[in-house]
Structure 1
Amino acid sequence: MTKIIKYTNKDNETLYKFRFYAGIDELTGKQRYIRRQGFTSEKDAKTELLKIEYLVSTNQYYKSVKSGKFGDVLDEWLALHKETVKPSTWQFIELRANKHVRPYFKDMYVDKITLRQCQDFVNKTFKVAPVAYVYSVSIVKNTLDYALRLGMIESNPMLYVIKPKKQASISDNHGNFYTKDELKKFLDVAKDTDLKKYTLFRLLAFSGIRIGECLALTWHDLNYKNNTIAINKTLARTKNGIKIQTPKTKASNRVVSLDNETIQVLKMWQLEQRKQLLKLGINAMNKQQLIFSNTKNKFIIIPTVRLAIKQIAKKAGLYPITTHGFRHTHATLLFASGLDIKQVQARLGHSNVQTTLNIYTHAIQDKQDKIGDEFAKYINF
């Protein structure tokens, strides 16, 4: 009897799956199994299982399932997936699907795609984009998973590829974050360069918010009385240009506490911004006034921030981290200051504590290595 199995996916969602034995393939002599997964309820899984049992028992299942070209299955999966993600995420997925995935697999029939072909795709994509190749691989895997659910294939060869390992570089050895001393050097140079840049980078480093969340902030989000800032939106690039949208996840919608010094820096910048905008004939007292805007009082684009990081890092004699590196810096220093994993998770707005654990393994391990000394120091005998 086929069992309905309950499992948890990477997003900690409870789902259901099954593997149904469909007898022996007369042509190959091999056992045939029909696998289905991703059901949100046990009832849905049972309904699908009953349908398959009936079709197999009446010799209709394998006659009704026709193989299709990868490009057609990809189109179906993309159409379904589009409804589950934000516009900015969809734009990224669509771009990678059409530029990297489709040209390789387009005219292949899904039931003829082999492990060797999948491995070849992985190797070639890795050479072109050693970091971002995983996104293209994920699209292929998800498309073949969809073909599996449709009964077009019996297994997903993408599950068995060997993933290449990126060679260590200078940036890898350094890490995409600054130490306490490096951060001070960077901010000291930023302070001498420009008040707006200094305020932006200090806020990123002392709050841990994402760059998109930071560039979407208005002064109305800042609470001087409680020394907090509300994160309730983010800046994202879509087909229709740069837009404001809801945060990445539900947990990303949060209130972040700020230190007194960062609050004072923000107050200084607010006064300076009002003077600058007044010269342009713009009333900065508007509640929807962006905390950080360009010379035309519009959204600042992320490449502009990246360029500023490179310029300041060069002056400070430091390796330039990415915009997201300031978030890594904040989290790494949080662990060093003694905060536990749940506190860090909440402050960063991660919906799953596993995400925090996976990303900040280096900081957690460093803390673990010092537990013995800390314990002995506390006991003191």
Structure 2
Amino acid sequence: MSKKTPIKPYKLKNGDTRYMFRISLGTDPLTGKQKNTTRRSFRTIGQAQLAYDRLKYELHNGTLKKQQFNTYQDVYEEWINDYKGNVEKSTFDKTTGLFKNHILPAMGDYRVEKINYQLCKKHVNEWMEKLVRFNMVKFYASKVMDEAIKLNLIETNPFKLVETPNKRIKNKMEIYFTREQLIDFLNCTENEGDFKKYIFFRLLGFAGIRKSEAFALTWEDINFVDNSININKAIGYSKDNGLYVKSTKTGETRIIKMDSKTMDILKTWQEKQFEKLQLLSFNVNQPKQLVFQNAENKHFQPSRTWGWLNKILTEYNLKYMTTHGLRHTHATLLAEAGASLPSIQQRLGHSGKDTTTKTYIHVTEKMKTDTLDMFIEYMDY
């Protein structure tokens, strides 16, 4: 690639390479300022070069049509084009789903300069009535208005003036088991006789990992010598590619110390799994053998866990719970056991951006072990 080429490569979070270019549109006669435009998300250099040459030709011949941003939908199209190159495919699909189902039907046809506080408040109230995660919908709807500011279409973002209550968020965060409820749930799960589901739910309750991280685990991530698990990947989903392996939510790897009983149960599960897979003529010696596999020895759909969980809760008349609630359970029980905030955040793989965490340079191996010891002593299960 020539050093003078306007085509520049950049990396997506999943490691894929895309290409972009920036080109001058000349001087704006109204402001006297230089105008530029950026085009990105090209999969090959050739595609980017073709788009660049076409744009340059239209500029030279005066046939370039000025891009108009009349409606909220117009601005969204501009914003989503840049957003696509900066997030995982699974995140992109979820975000476009929010826009398709909730935001664009409400706001897409509005002229962007006419959107005011009253309109924003009206739609936020509608989302609040229908949706649990209404704050997330508001967050993304506001992002498009931020883009309108960057495009010099408006001066302020009216969504920033709309206040929303935290009541529903608090209720959502309160979904967790007490120590006794977790033990009761695990005993009921074990009684069902499905060893895979029992160790899966025990791992979520005793390690606090995300279900997407659990379903991405391979046996080479499990260290039976020092009783630890390496959390270095997760399962994602996109409409184009289906299930795929991606980095963890924060993009970081963490080592979780585990209690000997859970590791012994994991070892028993490995033996049972290998025996069953060999009978089905699967190669269990492959380096990437999954800890939790479906009938085809491939990744599970993360959504499958709700059926597993709901069956047990219903059959044994247990408290309502979500799969992610087991992660909240682990965090809550760690706190009740006396673990420090930075130790909890390290164990759960949180980003650790709050002020308290910033006072710690790192979480030591002793802190990791002490955190586990506190939890096991507290659980006594």
TM-score band w.r.t. shorter chain = 0.7 to 0.9
- TM-score calculated relative to the size of structure 2: 0.73
1:1-381 alignment, distance < 5 Å: 68-129=70-131, 131-163=132-164, 172=171, 175-193=174-192, 194-239=194-239, 240-251=241-252, 253-354=253-354
Q: 1:94 to 1:176 in 2, by over 3 A?
A: same
Q: Number of matched residues?
A: 299
Amino acid at match of 1:114: N
Question: Post-superposition shift, 1:156?
Answer: 0.8
Q: 1:191 to 1:124 in 2, by over 3 A?
A: same
- C-alpha offsets along residues 84-143 of structure 1, whole Å, 9 cap, x if unaligned? 2111111100111122111222221111111111111112222221x1222221111011
Amino acid at match of 2:73: G
**In structure 2, what is the Cα distance between the partners aligned to 1:108 and 1:74?**
12
**What residue is the counterpart of 1:361 in the other structure?**
none
Q: 1:77 to 1:356 in 2, by over 3 A?
A: farther
Verify the 8 A CA contact 1:68 1:110 in the aligned structure 2: yes
Verify the 8 A CA contact 2:342 2:352 in the aligned structure 1: no
Amino acid at match of 2:187: D
Question: Post-superposition shift, 1:285?
Answer: 2.4
Q: 1:59 to 1:228 in 2, by over 3 A?
A: closer
Verify the 8 A CA contact 2:173 2:328 in the aligned structure 1: no
**In structure 1, what is the Cα distance between the partners aligned to 2:327 and 2:166?**
25
Verify the 8 A CA contact 1:196 1:292 in the aligned structure 2: yes
**In structure 1, what is the Cα distance between the partners aligned to 2:205 and 2:137?**
31
Verify the 8 A CA contact 1:204 1:326 in the aligned structure 2: yes
**In structure 1, what is the Cα distance between the partners aligned to 2:99 and 2:355?**
25
Amino acid at match of 2:115: I
**SS at 1:116 equivalent:** helix
- C-alpha offsets along residues 215-273 of structure 1, whole Å, 9 cap, x if unaligned? 0101111011111111111001112111111111134x111111000000001111111
**SS at 1:236 equivalent:** strand
Verify the 8 A CA contact 2:69 2:75 in the aligned structure 1: no
**In structure 2, what is the Cα distance between the partners aligned to 1:111 and 1:160?**
16
**In structure 2, what is the Cα distance between the partners aligned to 1:247 and 1:165?**
27
- TM-score calculated relative to the size of structure 1: 0.73
Verify the 8 A CA contact 1:309 1:320 in the aligned structure 2: no
| Structure 1: tracts of 5 or more residues without a match | 1-50, 358-381
**In structure 1, what is the Cα distance between the partners aligned to 2:327 and 2:75?**
38
**In structure 2, what is the Cα distance between the partners aligned to 1:310 and 1:158?**
38
**SS at 2:354 equivalent:** helix
Verify the 8 A CA contact 2:215 2:234 in the aligned structure 1: yes
Verify the 8 A CA contact 2:214 2:234 in the aligned structure 1: yes
| Structure 2: tracts of 5 or more residues without a match | 1-26, 36-65, 358-381
**In structure 2, what is the Cα distance between the partners aligned to 1:229 and 1:173?**
28
Identity %, equivalent residues: 34
**In structure 2, what is the Cα distance between the partners aligned to 1:300 and 1:355?**
37
Question: Post-superposition shift, 1:294?
Answer: 1.4
Regions of 4+ moved over 6 Å: 58-61
